[in-house]
């Protein structure tokens, strides 16, 4: 299990994966909008998307889990 | 009849024995852990000759304490004089006794007297508690090591290779250095060991988690460079030193100029015009600096800002660059600290600084306010103001709000602030500004299409207000240049600025910097 954590406060602008998708390290998972910037959040490790904990438009804080991967 | 040994022979044998370091069983264990022995490290670090060692015979009447667990030498690295202190883990786990501490203090004093770099090869279990009254509390005891480190700071480069433990007070030796090169899996530093943490606060952790090299390079930001082997770490010391002068009164050495690794003519293609789209700032850096000249500091920590040394046509420069690819390049508490530390390092040793700006400003929100973003932002601004080395700031793309000041915008006395045509300098970006100024009007428009149209128009008007040619016309920036000429421009400018005296501005003891 690997958690993808929001690196900063902001709003979820785009979710680029679905539950069940295989993702590779470095792949963009979510695009966040913060400070008027579009900020890609990438997977550190590869795995299968187990759970997506946010919706587009949600406010997330630094440290919030946004996606859970299983290895 | 066996011939009687001369005094000279007896001494010679003793000296040879001391050079063999601690007991074989300890040396064997060190090798099993994949570590180098103390004198092997020195051999890799220093030119073969000349080397002089002081205190070889420290504690020589004690069988198991050769050199009292630390080797202190004067030697050369690529022909440059240096002082070195190297803990010997084969001697009572590199622990400190009375003579150990005295030897460390003396080699520090030597470095201060001769104005030459001080290198610490750290691998020690800490103070021998049984000997504490002889080496902990007094005038020339352990505290003085750190006291001297503070006094030496900015006088001569202080470099640490962390290839073993460095516990409790001993962990201040690395931390007081200008740079800590940490060997992955071998190096560790912490105030309280895992055992002490378990007893004292009930926390159960491994040494790696508590203070491993990786943790310090990725999480705490105490470490500067993470290397995978000691050999790599020793090479890193040599490379780091190549950017530095011997002391704060000298200029850093130049190297043979080389072309950049990547083609500077491609710069324009790399920088997206849309301010909100991230790109990789390393792509700019590797088109500006000489090939193979990059030495990054704190590469794994606060990655939204990049700090490192490079050479431009052979001239050493410190580069501070926003990284839009990470957290949008926004400045956070850690990124401000990272930049502050780096600026002061460059300024202390006369290394010119290049700022590459693409910054949406300092982060806002309750989380960062509680962390004291104001305090941390102040530090970065303070360091920029304080720095008197040649400074060039380049507005690569956006420079919003206090981000402009923190990245050495025109107000902060750069020798030049130059912009690329993609530059956008403003209190805030068009989106935020239009929202702030026309909030009520925008809310009053009911039709979403009309609302969007209104916002777009206002954003366009705003962009025109802060058009880079307007700023150039008003002499806000010193020049606007095409991206593909950036390297050549920097070579010319840094050459003109190289003899800037860079003395202190006002006679005073010191400022009162936020921390």
**pLDDT tens for residues B402-429?**
999 999 999 999 999 999 999 999 999 9
pLDDT given for residue B276 in this prediction: 85
Distance CA A64, CA B251 (A): 47
* Interchain pair A37, B364: CB under 8 A: no
H runs (alpha helix) in B212-274: 213-215, 230-241, 267-270
Q: Are B384 and B344 in contact (CB under 8 A)?
A: no
Adjacent-strand bridge partners of A67: A4, A52
Residue extents of the structural domains in chain A? 2-70
Nearest CA in chain A to B429: A36
Four-point Cα dihedral B195, B201, B202, B205, nearest 10:
-50
Strand locations in B102-258 (E): 118-124, 158-167, 179-183, 188-190, 225-227
Does B365 contact A at CB distance below 8 Å? yes
* Interchain pair B328, A37: CB under 8 A: yes
Section B485-507 average pLDDT: 91
User: What mean pLDDT is reported for chain B?
Assistant: 96
Return the CA Rg of chain A. 11
Q: Identify the architecture of domain A2-70 in CATH.
A: Beta Barrel (2.40)
Minimal CA separation from B328 to chain A, in Å:
6
Minimal CA separation from A28 to chain B, in Å:
12
Minimal CA separation from B502 to chain A, in Å:
36
Does B11 contact A at CB distance below 8 Å? no
**Which CA distances in Å does B370 have to A35, B8, B47, B366?**
18, 68, 50, 6
Which among A9, A36, A40 has the least Cβ separation from residue B278?
Answer: A40
Which among A7, A9, A38 has the least Cβ separation from residue B365?
Answer: A9
User: What mean pLDDT is reported for chain A?
Assistant: 93
Distance CA A16, CA A3 (A): 16
* Interchain pair A7, B327: CB under 8 A: yes
pLDDT given for residue B182 in this prediction: 98
**pLDDT tens for residues B453-464?**
999 999 999 999
Distance CA B472, CA B480 (A): 7
pLDDT given for residue B1 in this prediction: 61
Q: Are B141 and B102 in contact (CB under 8 A)?
A: no
**pLDDT tens for residues B169-181?**
788 999 999 999 9
Does A7 contact B at CB distance below 8 Å? yes
Which among B328, B367, B429 has the least Cβ separation from residue A39?
Answer: B328
* Percentage of chain B exceeding pLDDT 70: 99
| pLDDT at residue B149 is higher than 90 | yes
Nearest CA in chain B to A59: B365
Distance CA B340, CA B438 (A): 36
pLDDT band (50, 70, 90) for residue B505: confident
Does B276 contact A at CB distance below 8 Å? yes
Does B150 contact A at CB distance below 8 Å? no
Q: End-to-end alpha-carbon separation of chain B, Å?
A: 73
Distance CA A5, CA A45 (A): 12
Cβ-based neighbours of B3, under 8 Å, separated by 6 or more: none
Section A4-29 average pLDDT: 94
Section B103-108 average pLDDT: 98
Does B364 contact A at CB distance below 8 Å? yes
Parallel, antiparallel, or unpaired: how do β-strands B179-183 and B225-227 relate? parallel
**Which CA distances in Å does B290 have to B136, B238, B261, B358, B419?**
48, 18, 7, 22, 22
Q: End-to-end alpha-carbon separation of chain A, Å?
A: 6
**pLDDT tens for residues B122-142?**
999 999 999 999 999 999 999
Distance CA B331, CA B328 (A): 9
Nearest CA in chain B to A6: B327
**pLDDT tens for residues B184-228?**
999 999 999 899 999 999 999 999 999 999 999 999 999 999 999
Parallel, antiparallel, or unpaired: how do β-strands B80-87 and B158-167 relate? unpaired
pLDDT given for residue B38 in this prediction: 98
Section B62-69 average pLDDT: 94
Tokens at residue B322, please?
């926003």
* Interchain pair A35, B328: CB under 8 A: yes
CB-side neighbour CA atoms (13 Å) of B212: 13
CB-side neighbour CA atoms (13 Å) of B380: 28
| pLDDT at residue B507 is higher than 90 | no
Chains A and B: how many Cβ contacts under 8 Å? Answer: 42
pLDDT band (50, 70, 90) for residue B386: very high
**pLDDT tens for residues B52-65?**
999 999 999 998 99
Distance CA B281, CA B291 (A): 16
Query: Which ipTM score applies to this complex?
Result: 0.86
pLDDT given for residue B3 in this prediction: 83
pLDDT band (50, 70, 90) for residue B167: confident
Which chain B residues are within 8 Å of A61, Cβ to Cβ?
Answer: 367
**pLDDT tens for residues B259-270?**
999 999 999 999
Does A2 contact B at CB distance below 8 Å? no
* Percentage of chain B exceeding pLDDT 90: 93
pLDDT band (50, 70, 90) for residue B451: very high
Q: Which of B421, B433, B422, B387 is nearest to B407 (CA)?
A: B387
* Interchain pair A37, B360: CB under 8 A: yes
Parallel, antiparallel, or unpaired: how do β-strands B391-400 and B353-359 relate? parallel
Does B23 contact A at CB distance below 8 Å? no
pLDDT given for residue B123 in this prediction: 96
Which among A8, A36, A61 has the least Cβ separation from residue B327?
Answer: A8
Cα angle, residue B480 at apex, residues B474 and B486 outer, rounded to 5°: 155
Distance CA A12, CA A33 (A): 6
pLDDT given for residue B275 in this prediction: 86
* Percentage of chain A exceeding pLDDT 90: 82
Which among B277, B363, B367 has the least Cβ separation from residue A35?
Answer: B363
Tokens at residue B334, please?
């850690």
The order of strands in the sheet holding A37-42 is A37-42, A28-34, A10-15, A59-60
Minimal CA separation from B240 to chain A, in Å:
29
H runs (alpha helix) in B165-247: 172-176, 194-201, 207-211, 213-215, 230-241
Which chain A residues are within 8 Å of B363, Cβ to Cβ?
Answer: 8-9, 35
pLDDT given for residue A36 in this prediction: 83
Minimal CA separation from B437 to chain A, in Å:
16
Section A45-68 average pLDDT: 94
- pTM (2 decimals)? 0.95
The owner of tokens 């850690």 is B334
Four-point Cα dihedral B445, B450, B456, B459, nearest 10:
-20
pLDDT given for residue B356 in this prediction: 98
Does A8 contact B at CB distance below 8 Å? yes
pLDDT given for residue A1 in this prediction: 83
Mutate which: B365, B399, B429, vs A, most A CBs within 10 A: B365
pLDDT band (50, 70, 90) for residue A71: confident
pLDDT band (50, 70, 90) for residue B300: very high
pLDDT given for residue B504 in this prediction: 66
């Amino acid at each position: 299990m690997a958690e993808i954590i929001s690196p900063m406060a902001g709003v979820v602008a785009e979710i680029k994966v679905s539950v069940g998708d295989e993702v590779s390290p470095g792949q963009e998972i979510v695009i966040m909008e913060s400070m008027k910037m579009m900020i890609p959040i990438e997977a550190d490790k590869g795995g299968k998307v187990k759970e997506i904990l946010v919706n587009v438009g949600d406010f997330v804080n630094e440290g919030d889990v946004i996606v859970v991967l299983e290895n | 009849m066996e011939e009687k040994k001369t005094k000279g022979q007896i001494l010679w044998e003793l000296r040879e024995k001391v050079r063999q370091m601690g007991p074989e069983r300890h040396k064997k264990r060190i090798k099993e852990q994949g570590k180098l022995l103390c004198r092997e490290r020195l051999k890799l670090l220093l030119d073969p000759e000349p080397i002089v060692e002081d205190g070889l015979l420290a504690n020589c009447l004690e069988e198991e304490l050769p050199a009292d667990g630390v080797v202190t030498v004067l030697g050369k690295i690529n022909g440059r004089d240096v002082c070195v202190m190297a803990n010997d883990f084969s001697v009572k786990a590199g622990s400190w006794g009375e003579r150990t501490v005295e030897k460390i203090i003396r080699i520090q004093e030597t470095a201060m007297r001769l104005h030459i770099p001080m290198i610490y090869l750290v691998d020690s279990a800490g103070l021998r508690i049984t000997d504490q009254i002889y080496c902990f509390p007094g005038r020339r005891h352990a505290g003085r090591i750190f006291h001297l480190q503070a006094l030496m700071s900015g006088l001569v480069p202080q470099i640490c290779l962390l290839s073993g433990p460095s516990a409790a007070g001993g962990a201040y030796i690395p931390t007081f250095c200008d740079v800590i090169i940490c060997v992955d899996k071998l190096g560790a530093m912490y105030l309280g060991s895992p055992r002490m943490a378990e007893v004292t606060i009930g926390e159960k952790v491994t040494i790696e988690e508590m203070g491993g090299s990786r943790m310090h390079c990725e999480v705490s930001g105490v470490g500067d460079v993470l290397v995978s082997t000691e050999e790599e770490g020793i090479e890193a010391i040599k490379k780091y030193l190549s950017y530095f002068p011997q002391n704060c009164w000298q200029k850093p050495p130049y190297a043979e100029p080389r072309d950049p690794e990547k083609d500077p003519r491609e710069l324009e293609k790399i920088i997206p015009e849309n301010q909100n789209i991230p790109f990789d700032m390393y792509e700019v850096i590797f088109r500006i600096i000489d090939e193979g000249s990059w030495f990054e500091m704190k590469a794994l920590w606060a990655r939204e800002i990049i700090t490192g040394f490079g050479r431009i046509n052979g001239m050493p420069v410190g580069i501070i660059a926003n990284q839009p690819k990470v957290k949008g390049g926004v400045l956070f508490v850690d990124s401000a600290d990272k930049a502050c530390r780096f600026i002061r390092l460059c300024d202390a040793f006369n290394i010119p600084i290049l700022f590459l700006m693409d910054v949406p400003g300092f982060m806002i929100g309750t989380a960062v306010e509680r962390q004291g973003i104001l305090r941390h932002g102040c530090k970065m601004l303070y360091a920029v103001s304080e720095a008197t080395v040649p400074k060039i700031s380049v507005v690569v793309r956006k420079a919003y709000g206090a981000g402009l000041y923190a990245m050495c915008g025109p107000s902060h006395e750069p020798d030049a602030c130059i912009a690329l045509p993609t530059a956008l300098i403003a209190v805030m970006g068009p989106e935020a500004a239009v929202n702030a100024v026309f909030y009520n009007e925008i809310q009053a428009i009911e039709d979403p299409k009309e609302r969007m149209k209104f916002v777009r128009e206002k954003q366009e008007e705003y962009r025109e207000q802060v058009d880079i040619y307007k700023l150039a016309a008003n002499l806000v920036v010193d020049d606007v240049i095409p991206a593909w000429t950036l390297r050549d421009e920097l070579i010319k400018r840094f050459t003109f600025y190289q003899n800037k005296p860079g003395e202190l501005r006002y006679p005073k003891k010191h400022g009162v910097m936020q921390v």
